[in-house]
Amino acid sequence: MKPHNAKEVNGMYQIVAKKALNPTVTQMEIEAPLVARKARPGQFIILRVDEEGERIPLTVAGTDPEAGTVKIIFQIVGATTALLNHKEQGESIQDFAGPLGVATHTEGIKKVCIVGGGVGCAIAMPVAQEFHRLGAEVTSIIGFRSKDLLILEDEFRACSDRLVVMTDDGSYGRHGNVTVPLKEMLEAGETFDQIITIGPLVMMKFVTLAAKPFGVPVIASMNPIMIDGTGMCGGCRITLVQDGQRVTKFACVDGPDFNAYEIDFDEAMSRGRMYADYERHAYEETCNLFKNA
Amino acid sequence: MAIIPKKHEMPTQAPEARAHNFSEVAMGYPMEIAVEEAKRCLNCKNRPCVAGCPVNIDIPGFIGCVKEGDFEGAYQVITKSSSLPAVCGRVCPQETQCEMKCTLGIKFEPVGIGRLERFVADWHNENASEKPAAPKANGHRVAIVGSGPSGLTCAGDLAKKGYKVTVYEALHTAGGVLVYGIPEFRLPKAIVAKEVDTLKALGVDVEPNVIIGKTLTVDELFDMGFEAVFIGSGAGLPNFMNIPGEACKGVYSANEFLTRSNLMKAYRDDPRTPIMKGGKVAVVGGGNVAMDAARTALRLGAEHVYIVYRRSMEELPARREEVEHAIEEGIDFRLLNNPVEILGYNNPDDPRDPKNGFVTGMRCIRMELGEPDARGRRRPVPIPGSEFELAVDTVIMAIGTSPNPLIKNTTEGLEVNSHGGIIVNEDGLTSRKDVYAGGDAVTGAATVISAMGAGKIAAQAIDKALKRR
């Protein structure tokens, strides 16, 4: 490896491509060669949009090590994602650090079921692609509220031996939530070496409950509030219940993937709402700022 | 001339004013007072203060310059030994180091060495315009992991000897605990930035957003041509008490609370990064970090702030000046108390009640001091049946940290002790060839100056090892 100056190599974190996947979900490719070379499916990055920005974690949706770019997909849910979405191709963002977290465990898994919900499908996609690349049999179940919010269907079709698309309102694919086809498969006697679920906490909780009677291992990818993301602040802590003992784990260094049967989902949901009022206010302020601009 | 028995007071903001702002509490000696204080130094023969300084600053030497009014000369004496004088003058626990050894202190109050160091550094930053010239390069390259006190010291000492040094920082700003941990009112961030700029002028490269162990590994640093690596990655993950209720909303680690306020500037009006402000706050712990968290909470608008510590004032490990300042500001010390449970709101009739899960209080138990432990500190023992409740909205846990596993997990052959701290010899050398370490990554949570001392020792050892090649 040649000596380098990371300022040149790791660079300005320029947005080299930007695409709206649906009205509230955007895909960007960011120039970050050091991250692109290292990131594995399941890992995440931390970014700041500008000098005064907050640090937010986003899961890596893909990499191009040759081009030195990292793909991120984000839903516009708050002030920072609104600011990020306001940046255009050719512009740069302030900070982009990673890859963080432990990559999704793939070893020895021959038959996998990926269950993704909403923007969580963006995180699930590289995981499905990785299993496909490794030769595993991939079943993907992806769910959205409605047809308008559907993302990444083609990408999932390309890497899945079987794909089931669900919408809550029945406007596309099958009507219902993701647990419906999962239960059908398991009840029909189908087995998986691993179920991996990525999406809203409540969805992951019910996927876990659906799989439990069948004894299939379930991994959930957690996305708690984080600040540094490097194992310093402890804000991302979640509670696992192991042999009746409550154990504190940190999603940034121990995760983000955890054995779903051990996760205290209700606690994680409660903690995720800690700043709900503040975030709503900040989001409205930011939206108003753009409206007036 | 008669000896003035007491240190000259350093002007501070009035407690009632400073409790509501983030400006620096202590305002530094004016020039005349600094010279007067310097004259208190006996210039004794044994110079015990120098041995009391973890980086062995020539204390009588710089104080002698101050006496003469040669403030730049004083600065030059200090920077021979310390890369961060403006920082140390503010955050060192002088009362247990140089000032504790001061000969004058046998009969009177010791010389205000810390205050004089601060004066000299501030005078230099204000008046000296000349940037230090980068020394002649010696062709050797060294990588430093982490830009906290140990990393910056190691970087500065090596750069002054002509090494090409690159400092890798995981966060977006250089300074480590000096920027994310220690609050603005105790150490203004502009001072840290200035010290970092001085290092850059010496030719040190600082690369933010690079997490060693993730973005690059230690082995890759050697592949890139670095001949030695110093790991100063800091203390790591916060400890919790493992009592019920610690996952309630409103329970912070001190690291998180201080990072939100300091690094992410949540103390400003309308910040991008949110923080819980106001209400009643309990900080658990008795170290400097606990004091910083308590006083930050107060400045963020808390109506009442408790320090809950399980031992007594005598054992409280924080720097004395910070404790005194905290008491003046109205922090309520609840000593010989220990939390046993954090209480959260729970509306049994409405699981969607937005108040559910937020902290409402903390159940504590009173303690008494028992037999001394292995380190000679009397062990706190709970008094049965003495439990009581403290009504609070926020709880901040400041009870220490455990080392960060990222580097250990990705560096084969790097040995750590049972606490996860990196094992080093007296030169700071780890179990891996050419890999050195120091600061909290080795010792667990300690002081800025002890980390600087470790960075200094490692720099000397690296220089000795590489010079031979």
Q: What is the per-residue pLDDT across B58-89, written as a single tens digit (0 to 9) for each?
A: 999 999 999 999 999 999 999 988 888 899 88
Residue A4 above 60 pLDDT? no
Question: Which pLDDT score is estimated for A1?
Answer: 44
Would an 8 Å CB–CB cutoff place B296 in contact with chain A? no
Residue A9 above 90 pLDDT? no
DSSP B423-462: P--TTSB-SSTTEEE-THHHHSS--HHHHHHHHHHHHHHH
Residue B44 above 90 pLDDT? yes
Tell me if B329 sits within 8 A of B305, measured CB to CB: no
CB contact under 8 A, B180 and A95: no
What is the Cα–Cα distance from A192 to A52, expressed in whole angstroms?
46
Candidates 1.10.1060.10, 2.160.10.10, 1.20.1250.20, 1.20.1090.10; correct CATH number of B15-127?
1.10.1060.10
Looking at the partner chain, which of B211, B247, B272 has a beta carbon nearest the beta carbon of A239? B247
pLDDT classification of A293: cutoffs 50, 70, 90: low
Question: What separation in angstroms does the CA of B278 have from each of B294, B302, B353?
Answer: 12, 4, 21
Give me the count of residues in chain B: 469
What is the Cα–Cα distance from B253 to B246, expressed in whole angstroms?
10
Q: What is the distance between the terminal CA atoms of chain A, rounded to a whole angstrom?
A: 46
pLDDT classification of A291: cutoffs 50, 70, 90: low
Would an 8 Å CB–CB cutoff place B135 in contact with chain A? no
Question: Which pLDDT score is estimated for A107?
Answer: 93
CB contact under 8 A, A232 and B220: no
Q: What is the per-residue pLDDT across A45-95, written as a single tens digit (0 to 9) for each?
A: 999 999 888 999 999 999 999 999 999 999 998 889 999 999 999 999 999
Residues A166 and A246 in one domain: yes
Question: Which pLDDT score is estimated for B313?
Answer: 93
Question: Which pLDDT score is estimated for A11?
Answer: 52
Point out the domain boundary residue: A79, A100, A121: A100
Residue B269 above 80 pLDDT? no
Chain A positions touching B265 (Cβ under 8 A) are 52
Distance from the Cα of A97 to chain B's closest Cα (Å) equals 5
Strands (E) across B4-121 are located at none
Question: What separation in angstroms does the CA of A165 have from each of A131, A181, A182?
Answer: 19, 10, 12
Query: Looking at chain A, which residue has its C-alpha nearest residue B224?
Result: A3
Range of the domain at A260: 111-272
DSSP A182-214: HHHHHHTT---SEEEEES-HHHHHHHHHHHGGG
Q: Domain for residue A133, yes or no?
A: yes
Q: Domain for residue A1, yes or no?
A: no
CB contact under 8 A, B240 and A274: no
Looking at the partner chain, which of B209, B234, B256 has a beta carbon nearest the beta carbon of A10? B209
Q: Does residue A275 sit in helix, strand or coil?
A: coil
What is the Cα–Cα distance from A6 to B245, expressed in whole angstroms?
43
Tell me if B343 sits within 8 A of B249, measured CB to CB: no
Residues A149 and A18 in one domain: no
Alpha helices (runs of H) in chain A, residue ranges in sequence order:
6-9, 33-38, 79-86, 120-133, 153-159, 179-187, 201-211, 251-254, 265-272, 276-292
Looking at the partner chain, which of B141, B249, B272 has a beta carbon nearest the beta carbon of A270? B249
Average pLDDT score over residue span A107-119: 95
Looking at the partner chain, which of A2, A253, A270 has a beta carbon nearest the beta carbon of B406? A253
pLDDT classification of A292: cutoffs 50, 70, 90: low
Distance from the Cα of B371 to chain A's closest Cα (Å) equals 31
Q: Which of A164-168, A173-177, B109-113, B349-353 shows the lowest mean pLDDT across its residues?
A: B349-353
What is the Cα–Cα distance from B440 to B434, expressed in whole angstroms?
19
pLDDT classification of B102: cutoffs 50, 70, 90: very high
Question: Which pLDDT score is estimated for B263?
Answer: 87
Residues A221 and A128 in one domain: yes
Residue B216 above 70 pLDDT? yes
Residues A96 and A179 in one domain: no
Residues A23 and A80 in one domain: yes
Would an 8 Å CB–CB cutoff place B211 in contact with chain A? yes
| CATH code for position A181 | 3.40.50.80
Question: Which pLDDT score is estimated for B369?
Answer: 93
Tokens of B187: 């150490």
Residues A129 and A222 in one domain: yes
Chain B positions touching A227 (Cβ under 8 A) are 256, 259-260, 263-264, 273
Question: Which pLDDT score is estimated for B278?
Answer: 84
Domains B141-236+402-467 and B240-399 equal at CATH topology level: yes
Number of domains in chain A: 2
Predicted TM-score (pTM) of this structure: 0.91
Query: Looking at chain A, which residue has its C-alpha nearest residue B241?
Result: A248
CB contact under 8 A, A100 and B207: no
Residue B107 above 90 pLDDT? yes
Would an 8 Å CB–CB cutoff place A284 in contact with chain B? no
| CATH code for position A36 | 2.40.30.10
Residues A47 and A184 in one domain: no
Residue B91's CB is within 10 A of a number of other CB atoms, namely 23
Looking at the partner chain, which of A10, A80, A237 has a beta carbon nearest the beta carbon of B272? A80
CATH number of B141-236+402-467: 3.50.50.60
Average pLDDT score over residue span B360-383: 91
Q: What is the per-residue pLDDT across A24-39, written as a single tens digit (0 to 9) for each?
A: 999 999 999 999 999 9
Is B65 or B96 the better-scoring residue by pLDDT?
Answer: B65
Question: Which pLDDT score is estimated for B163?
Answer: 96
Q: What is the distance between the terminal CA atoms of chain B, rounded to a whole angstrom?
A: 56
What amino acid is encoded at A267 in this protein? E
> In whole numbers, what is the pLDDT of chain A averaged over residues?
90
> In whole numbers, what is the pLDDT of chain B averaged over residues?
92
Query: Looking at chain B, which residue has its C-alpha nearest residue A46?
Result: B209
Per-window interface: B 345-384 vs A, CB < 8 A:
354, 356-357
Point out the domain boundary residue: A47, A74, A100: A100
Residue A44 above 60 pLDDT? yes
CB contact under 8 A, A227 and B404: no
For residues A146, A152, A154, A155, the Cα torsion angle rounded to the nearest 10 degrees is -150
Question: Which pLDDT score is estimated for B135?
Answer: 86
pLDDT classification of A7: cutoffs 50, 70, 90: very low
B241: Cβ–Cβ under 8 A, 6 or more apart, which residues?
Answer: B284, B339, B397, B399
Residues A158 and A134 in one domain: yes
Instruction: Name the residue ranges covered by the structural domains of chain B.
Output: 15-127, 141-236+402-467, 240-399
Report the residue of A84, A227, A230, A232 to disrupt the B interface, i.e. the one with the largest count of B CBs within 10 Å.
A232
Residue B341 above 90 pLDDT? yes
Residues A53 and A26 in one domain: yes
What is the Cα–Cα distance from A42 to B40, expressed in whole angstroms?
63
What is the Cα–Cα distance from B112 to B133, expressed in whole angstroms?
31
Report the residue of B261, B272, B404 to disrupt the A interface, i.e. the one with the largest count of A CBs within 10 Å.
B272
Chain A positions touching B214 (Cβ under 8 A) are 38, 98-100, 230
ipTM for the whole complex: 0.89
Would an 8 Å CB–CB cutoff place B219 in contact with chain A? no
Q: Domain for residue A291, yes or no?
A: no
CB contact under 8 A, A230 and B171: yes
Chain A positions touching B178 (Cβ under 8 A) are none
Tokens of B291: 């004091």
Q: What percent of chain B has pLDDT over 90?
A: 76
pLDDT classification of B376: cutoffs 50, 70, 90: confident
What is the Cα–Cα distance from A244 to B362, expressed in whole angstroms?
24
Rg (CA), chain B: 23
A207: Cβ–Cβ under 8 A, 6 or more apart, which residues?
Answer: A115, A178, A179, A182, A195, A197, A218, A220, A260
Question: Which pLDDT score is estimated for B131?
Answer: 73
Q: What is the per-residue pLDDT across A200-256, written as a single tens digit (0 to 9) for each?
A: 999 999 999 999 999 999 999 998 888 898 888 998 999 999 999 999 999 999 999
Q: Exposure string (b/e) for A248-264, b if CB count within 10 Å is 16 or more?
A: bbbbbbbbbbbebbbbb
Question: Phi and psi dihedrals of B419, rounded to 5?
Answer: -90, -5
CATH superfamily for domain B240-399: FAD/NAD(P)-binding domain (3.50.50.60)
Q: What is the per-residue pLDDT across B149-173, written as a single tens digit (0 to 9) for each?
A: 999 999 999 999 999 999 999 999 9
Q: Domain for residue A245, yes or no?
A: yes
Chain B positions touching A271 (Cβ under 8 A) are 247, 249, 357
Tell me if B334 sits within 8 A of B364, measured CB to CB: yes
Residues A77 and A117 in one domain: no
Per-window interface: B 174-203 vs A, CB < 8 A:
180
Q: What is the per-residue pLDDT across B392-403, written as a single tens digit (0 to 9) for each?
A: 999 999 999 988
Is A273 or A97 the better-scoring residue by pLDDT?
Answer: A97
Distance from the Cα of B373 to chain A's closest Cα (Å) equals 28
Residues A16 and A73 in one domain: yes
Chain A positions touching B224 (Cβ under 8 A) are 1-4
Query: Looking at chain B, which residue has its C-alpha nearest residue A283?
Result: B272
Q: Which of B75-89, B230-244, B265-279 shows the lowest mean pLDDT across its residues?
A: B265-279
Q: What is the per-residue pLDDT across A188-200, written as a single tens digit (0 to 9) for each?
A: 999 999 999 999 9
